[in-house]
Amino acid sequence: MARATGARAQMALAFESVYGTPPASGYTKMPFATATLGSDQPLLNSELLGYGRDPLAPVKDAVTADGDVVVPIDAEAFGHWLKAAFGAPTTAGVVAATGSITFAANPIVNERVMINGTTFTFVASGAVGDEVNIGATLAASMTALAAALNASVVSGVALATYTGTATALTIEHDTAGTAGNSFTLGADTATVSGATLTGGANSHTFTSGSWTLPSMSIEIGMPEVPRYAMYSGCVLDKIGWQLQRSGLLTATVSLVAQDETVAASTAAGTLAEVALQRFGHFNGAITRNGAALGNIVSADVAYTNNLDRIETIRSDGQIDGADMGMAALTGKIDVRFADQTLVDQAIDGTAAELVFAYSLSASASFTFTAHAVYLPRPRIAIAGPQGVQASFDWQAALAASPARMCTAVLVNSIASYA
């Protein structure tokens, strides 16, 4: 008999159009480290007397479905958790896709390059249409190729801008965003940077203050048993993470669910894959009012929706839903005591903007901004001859501009999280 192991477990997630109703399709395979998401139904001891010293059978109590999931903070999958925390984002193109075709030598007659489905052929002279004259040098040929492509009236070719260098043709899509990532490249003998342009990225901006939050269906599968538990009506209550010098960067997501349905086969169907690009603590930085904040030993960030479970009387023992309470954004900063900057802010009672940022490249980054952070006045304790540290349990509030508490921006190659 096969025994369940965490190594083979998998998690699938899809957003619901109707609360508590799992979608038939559209699930994404989600990376995770641990999960306590589950359902329990305690037993109530019988209080009845008159039947002897041995108790009567217990009675079932209400069903509670909730738990935590520890997930990596990455460039793509983390966007689903941000959507659960804040609602659907505003998406815009920020980085244009690019690519290149590199030549080892001057092209020869009838050598070809393929640009987004259109073939251009090098000729000795008298180029017409989709032909390009070979220059006296490789650089001259690249200049001629770029000129021909920039002048092309073919709609697919005109989507990009071309530049000739000493040894290559560089291509940049005219539209920032992920659209250029499907722009195809090819060549007979030259080296293409890839089958398509790459690096086109969108920014997905999540903001606090939404009056509605989406619900999710999450399936956790253990194929050895087999056991596939579908948790419907999942709403995100809290998300938080820690910044430190080393270690794995993960976030803890706390969920409130309505129901658990267990089956012997998956109900999620074929799962969409995400390209896992994890951020690390090494990629992180903290700024205060636009300037780097130094001497930080560690920091905690926690955003809470303060969900209120609607515990109505039902025959199935489930909740009716979960309403949002007052949101809260809190955290802690541990610093080596080197100056009075944070202490002075605490004494003055003024707010400052804190930005927690991670970046792998221009096309993969995560920035979380708390727009108005207030600090308590700390106790500066000397514990011995070693360095002195101070801890600030900060709180964020609604800022005057922008008129919200926090903003999360995820940059990646995902077209939309809507």
pLDDT in tens, 174-190: 999 999 999 999 999 99
Q: Tell me the mean pLDDT in the region 223-233.
A: 95
Give 125-164 pLDDT, tens digit per residue.
999 999 999 999 999 999 999 999 999 999 999 999 999 9
Given 172, 199, 226, the domain boundary residue is 199
Q: Does residue 358 belong to any structural domain of this protein?
A: yes
Give 388-408 pLDDT, tens digit per residue.
888 899 999 999 999 999 999
Residues 218 and 281 in one domain: yes
Residues 297 and 389 in one domain: yes
- What DSSP line would sit under 157-214, residue for residue? GGGEEEEE-SSEEEEEESS-SGGGGG-BEEESSSEES-SB-B--EEEEEEES--S---
Residues 13 and 142 in one domain: no
Q: Per-residue confidence at 170, pLDDT binned at 50, 70, 90?
A: very high
Rounded to whole angstroms, the Cα distance separating 375 from 350 reads 8
Q: Does residue 417 belong to any structural domain of this protein?
A: no
Q: What percent of the chain has pLDDT over 90?
A: 88
Rounded to whole angstroms, the Cα distance separating 376 from 382 reads 19
Residues 81 and 167 in one domain: no
Residues 226 and 360 in one domain: yes
Residues 245 and 380 in one domain: yes
Rounded to whole angstroms, the Cα distance separating 396 from 374 reads 6
Q: Does residue 48 belong to any structural domain of this protein?
A: no
Please name the helix (run of DSSP H) or strand (run of DSSP E) that holds residue 142, with its range, or none: helix 138-151
Residues 150 and 243 in one domain: no
Q: Indicate if the pLDDT at residue 386 is higher than 90.
A: no
Mean pLDDT of the chain: 95
Residues 221 and 131 in one domain: no
Residues 318 and 228 in one domain: yes
Residues 351 and 237 in one domain: yes
Q: Does residue 418 belong to any structural domain of this protein?
A: no
Residues 318 and 235 in one domain: yes
Q: Does residue 235 belong to any structural domain of this protein?
A: yes
Give 48-92 pLDDT, tens digit per residue.
999 999 999 999 998 899 999 999 999 999 999 999 999 999 999
- What DSSP line would sit under 217-277, residue for residue? EEEEEETTTTEEEEEEEEEEEEEEEEE-SSS--EEEEEEEESEEEEESS-SS-SPBP----
Q: Does residue 45 belong to any structural domain of this protein?
A: no
Split into its structural domains, the chain has a count of 2
Q: Omega into 226 within 30° of 0, i.e. cis?
A: yes
Cβ-count burial 225-258 (b if 16+ within 10 Å, e if not): eeebbbbbbbbbbbbbbbbeeeeebbbbbbbbbb
Given 153, 180, 199, the domain boundary residue is 199
Q: Does residue 170 belong to any structural domain of this protein?
A: yes
Q: Tell me the mean pLDDT in the region 9-25.
A: 97
Given 140, 164, 199, the domain boundary residue is 199
Q: Does residue 231 belong to any structural domain of this protein?
A: yes
Residue 314: its pLDDT value, please? 87
> Domain range spanning residue 310?
6-39+59-93+203-412
Residues 144 and 19 in one domain: no
